[in-house]
Structure 1
Amino acid sequence: MSKTNAGRFFEDYTVGDVITHAVPRTIKMGERALYHALYPARHALHSSDQFAQSCGLPFSPLDDLVTFHTVFGKTVPDVSLNAVANLGYAEGRWETPLWPGDTITATSEVIGVKQNSNGKSGVVWVRTTGRNQHGEVLMSYVRWVMVRKRGQGPAPETVIPELRSAVAAADLVIPRGLDFSAYDFALAGEPHRLSDYAVGEVIDHVDGVTIEEAEHMLATRLWQNTAKVHFDATNRPDGKRLIYGGHVISMARALSFNGLANAQMIVALNGGAHANPCFAGDTVRAWSEVLDIAETPAPGVGAIRLRLVATKGAAGVLRTDDGKYHPDVLLDLDYWALMPE
């Protein structure tokens, strides 16, 4: 009997199943150093204890996407090891900051399954929850993936979950103690507050970064993500390693500092699509569109809903005339962030 794990196939998922993911991961300052080495990340709240303390927090939390990547990486061996594609995200919420020294565990509940018409694969929906060592929810989100079938056997009964198109502003969780009433715009890097942004505004983040093979594999290993397509060049017919979609998310978020330096904390993930594959040698640029603006109960703290687009092309270009994503578009991400009013 084989002791190795070939991963789950479509037939192995049943709605209602709860999967406990291995391996607990304690996150310390080394992860921050590596994260900031891999990406041009420099939001002040995630860079300085003193700045975070001036905003009412005990010290600087880890970047919000460190939580996402670590939780996501835990799920790969059980959810997407045999995935054809990661299709989308919804209903994501960050509920507790990740502090240096916290230990992350993750579970996923299967909430939907649907076999594709070709009979060779199917879509699986899971709701994943990451917790710290105290059992507090760090974040939760829904994602759906296309997974290969093991054989040509019968398909499970189709269940498609109903998902909200966006997290309501009233449901955003504001970190305990967060207070932007004495916010230092000079130290943060830009003078723009929430009232300086308008719904419909498009921001070209100007800068670009060329993706390197070694860096994307280092990043993906950092999150203990074992998906074959990111490492094994024989896993795709074209002989290329696919860039982990989260690497593109973090790169675009970091690039968005230029124009959104005060969008300090990500608190919700409304939706997202990896529109086209990214490969080493591609130069990634980013632009954002302001989708909504809201108040929060925390002093001086507002919320801004943003569409973040990573692209190899021009700012503002998202779809072609037939409604499909433009071939240059790599990522279309809809999220809420906290910003001083």
Structure 2
Amino acid sequence: MSKISTKINVGNFFEDFSIGQKIIHPLPRTITEGEVSLYIAFTGSRFALHSSDELAQEIGYNERPIDDILMFHLTFGKSVQDISLNAIANLGYAEISFPNPVFIGDTVRMESTVIGLKENSNGKSGVVYVHSIGYNEQDKEVLNFKRWVMVHKKDKETMIGINEVPTFAESTPIVEDINIPEIDMVDTNATGGEYFFEDYEVGERLNHPEGITIDDSDHTLATKLYQNNAKVHFNDHMMKSTPMGERLMYGGIVISIARAISFNGLQNAQWVYAINSGAHCNPTYAGDTIYAYTEVLDVIDHSRDDLGLLRLRTVAIKNQKSDEIESPKGEDGKYLKNVVLDLDYTVIVPKKKTKKQ
């Protein structure tokens, strides 16, 4: 009889985590043109800054930075085998910031610290809270975020009794020194949008008309691209025996699709400054069609005279058009069953003075 090897990584279970535990994630990733092209193929993203070197150079970059959300996925994916390989679901995010841009040819890596643990009352699982930081090859921070994920327990019969839940800031602070070049000129013919910072107002709602249907091939290939090897996204054989009955789509793909859909009405919101909080309200599966609407929560002026910030709330809905829903929650305060994402984030938008005449 063969000897069973102990070299196989089976991932961490809830009991394997401890408060203050530091994890250096493997598999640093050098970003290539291929990732950028595939991201457009999987999401349909149309933001011009990430599509055109020429436009990026007009704004002040030497070359186009990669999409902030793509960078999030490629960096976030490093943490999966240590944090969420045995996850039931990724539950939410907070305080996500993008301190420095990332370009083709940069290499990203990630480290995490466990900041909270909460055992579920059923004794079968628990929620792990982590603070993760991504770095480029020059050790500059490119991503800083907190997230929480529900993870299986190994011993479902023994209660641990831990309940240490961290607190999170309501929104990511606005810094004085925003790390993007001074914006001299924005060509609206190139960006596809005529609206600037001054054109938006608090309470405004944008019902984005487009819907995007996500196939099995789309979400599977995208998740592989990010080297996210969580079992719930790939192992159809395993998932058929669960209450879900099929593979669960990685929630980050829903974020990407919602961001891509939001282009219509927010064409000049080229930069994601921060993600303040996010909730994956219900699961998404292959074959679902995603729609979205965006509400303007705040209009934030900045000392720079070339840009301002909008705090937005984008709600993604499956299989229902954005103008057919008034609120993501019902009278009981719970999310409606077809609401799959509630994302509070901040974008940077040029001011009118930068419009090409």
Q: Say whether the fold is shared (TM-score over 0.5).
A: yes
Could you tell me whether the CA contact under 8 Å between 2:113 and 2:131 is conserved in 1? yes
Residues 1:193 and 1:233: Cα distance change in structure 2 (over 3 Å):
same
- Determine the structure 2 residue equivalent to 1:225: 228
* CA deviation map 1:54-89 (0-9, x unaligned): 111221000101111011111111101111111111
Note closer, same or farther for the CA distance 1:242–1:172 as it changes in structure 2 (3 Å cut): farther
- Measure how far apart 1:324 and its partner are: 0.7
Which of 62, 68, 87 is equivalent to 1:64? 68
Choose the corresponding residue for 1:25, options 29, 52, 77: 29
Aligned partner of 2:347: which letter? A
1:100-111 map, 5 Å: 100-111=104-115
Q: CA deviation at 1:335?
A: 0.6
Q: 1:156 to 1:98 in 2, by over 3 A?
A: farther
> In percent, how many aligned pairs have the same letter?
46
Conserved? CA contact 2:97–2:144, under 8 Å: yes
- 2:170 match: 165
Question: Which deviates more from structure 2 when the two are superposed, residues 75-84 or residues 154-163?
Answer: 154-163
Partner SS state of residue 118, structure 2: strand
From 193, 197, 206, give the equivalent of 1:194. Answer: 197
Consecutive unaligned residues of structure 2, counting only runs of 5 or more, are 352-357
Say if 2:209 and 2:321, in contact at 8 Å, map to a contact too: no
3-state SS of paired residue (2:26): strand
Compare 292-301 and 125-134 and name the one that shifted more. 292-301
Q: Distance in 1 between matches of 2:79 and 2:43?
A: 23
**Alignment partner of 1:208 out of 207, 211, 214:** 211
In structure 2, distance between residues paired with 1:299 and 1:78? 43
Is the counterpart of residue 261 in structure 1 residue 267 in structure 2? Answer: yes
Match of 1:302 in 2: 308
* Equivalent of residue 11 in structure 1, options 12, 15, 19: 15
Higher alpha-carbon Rg: 2
Q: Is the 8 A contact 1:174 1:298 kept in 2?
A: no
CA RMSD between the two structures: 1.4
Change (3 A) 1:217 1:190: same
Query: How far apart are the structure 2 equivalents of 1:68 and 1:112?
Result: 22
Is 1:270 matched up with 2:276?
Answer: yes
SS at match of 2:164: coil
Instruction: Report the equivalent of 1:327.
Output: 337
Query: Is the 8 Å Cα contact of residues 212 and 291 (structure 2) preserved in structure 1?
Result: yes
- TM-score, normalised to structure 1, is 0.96
> Number of residue pairs matched?
339
TM-score, normalisation: structure 2: 0.92
4+ residue runs over 6 A deviation: none
Unaligned ranges ≥5, structure 1: none
Residue of structure 1 equivalent to 2:256: 250
What is aligned with 1:180? 183
Cα displacement (A) at 1:158: 2.8
| Partners of 2:57 and 2:216 in 1: CA distance | 37
| Distance in 2 of aligned mates of 1:242 and 1:258 | 28
- Specify the alignment match of 2:355 in structure 1: none
CA deviation after TM superposition for structure 1 residue 317, in Å: 3.3
The separation in 1 between residues aligned to 2:62 and 2:304, in whole angstroms, is: 16
Q: Which moved more, 1:101-110 or 1:156-165?
A: 156-165
> Aligned in 2, Cα 1:215/1:335: closer, same or farther, shift over 3 Å?
same
Paired position in structure 2 for 1:76: 80
Alignment-derived partner of residue 339 in structure 1:
349
Structure 1 residues 105, 156: CA separation in 2 closer, same or farther (over 3 Å shift)? farther
Task: Kindly report which structure 2 residues correspond to 1:120-131, keeping only aligned pairs within 5 A, or say none.
Answer: 120-131=124-135
| Cα distance in structure 2, aligned partners of 1:156 and 1:20 | 27
Matches of 1:119 and 1:173, distance apart in 2: 46
Deviation at 1:90, TM superposition (A): 0.5
**Cα deviations across residues 281-318 of structure 1 (Å, max 9, x unaligned)?**
11111110101111234341111111111112242431
Alpha-carbon displacement from aligned partner over 1:209-267 (angstroms, at most 9, x marks no partner): 11100011000000000011111112322431111111111111011111111111101
8 Å Cα contact 2:113/2:132 also seen in 1: yes
SS of the aligned residue for 2:163 comes to: coil
* Residue pair 1:166, 1:271 contacting (<8 A) in 2 also: yes
CA contact under 8 A between 1:70 and 1:224: conserved in structure 2? yes
